Amino acid sequence: MAIELKIDSKVLWLTGLSGAGKTTIANKLKEKLSAFDIAIEILDGDILRMGINKDLGFSMKDRYENVRRTAEIAKILVNNGIYTLVCLISPTEEIRKMARNIIGEEKFIEVFINAPFEICKARDVKGMYKRAERGECKDFTGLDSPFEKPANPDITIDTSTDTVLQSVSKVLDFLKFNK
Ligand code: ADP
């Protein structure tokens, strides 16, 4: 007899500049979603680059491969009922389209974590903006590597105006987890 699985898990694909707030929002979202009876995993670009993606750099070709591998992992997780929060700059429409195609339209939610370049630079969470400006880090997104704003994201969050909690609430509202 077939077992009926009721799985409505999603991949939340958080795209935006370095320092826009992807990791911060994903961590807080995970904390909030933990109150519900669902499994959640975060795939964070910085962490993946220390392991499965440590052979990749920041050329456009390597960024494609970075996104492709991550999307394939996200697909396995989401198809096993795990809510998957992906934090990757994923800088172009084409790259994000590839991720959407791998994961599947009905599972993929594009979340644009929007913050102006100048704000991300002022935050400089990881000291990367200073390094990039000193020329110590090539192909830096927003500087000498492009970032195309998503044309039609499912959710847009402006972290230069919204607090972390307001940002997380917006996502929970979209997912209908906020009562
Ligand atoms: P990313 O993962 O996009 O590189 P991080 O989450 O590592 O960015 O860093 C974002 C920084 O911006 C953190 O220092 C965070 O506290 C700050 N911040 C300010 N407002 C927000 C917000 N609404 N959402 C997320 N982060 C915010």
The domain locations on the chain are 11-173
Hunting for tokens 């990749």 — which residue is that?
56
Dist CA 171 CA 29 (whole Å)? 8
**Cβ-based neighbours of 90, under 8 Å, separated by 6 or more:** 13, 15, 63, 67, 96, 99
Active-site residue, selected from the candidate residues 9, 34, 59, 90: 90
Question: Ligand 1 centre from 22 Cα, in Å?
Answer: 6
Active-site residue, 90 included: yes
CA of 65 to the centre of ligand 1 (A): 25
Q: For the segment 41-82, what is each residue's pLDDT rounded down to a tens digit?
A: 999 999 999 999 999 999 999 999 999 999 999 999 999 999
What span, in angstroms and rounded, lies between the C-alpha atoms of 157 and 21? Answer: 10
Does the structure show a pLDDT above 80 at 1? no
Cβ atoms of 114 and 156 within 8 Å: the answer is: yes
Q: Topology of 11-173 in CATH?
A: Rossmann fold (3.40.50)
- What per-residue confidence (pLDDT) applies to 177? 84
Spatial separation of the C-alpha atoms in residues 44 and 176, rounded to whole Å:
24
Centre of ligand 1 to C-alpha 127, Å, is 13
DSSP-assigned letter for residue 141? B
Count how many Cα atoms sit within 13 Å of the Cα of residue 96 in the half-sphere of its side chain. 27
Please give the angle made by the CA atoms of 98, 102 and 105, to the nearest 5 degrees. 90
User: Could you report the per-residue pLDDT of 15-30, keeping only the tens digit for each?
Assistant: 999 999 999 999 999 9
Average confidence (pLDDT) over 119-148: 95
Average pLDDT of span 111-124: 97
Q: Is residue 13 within 8 Å of 96, Cβ to Cβ?
A: yes
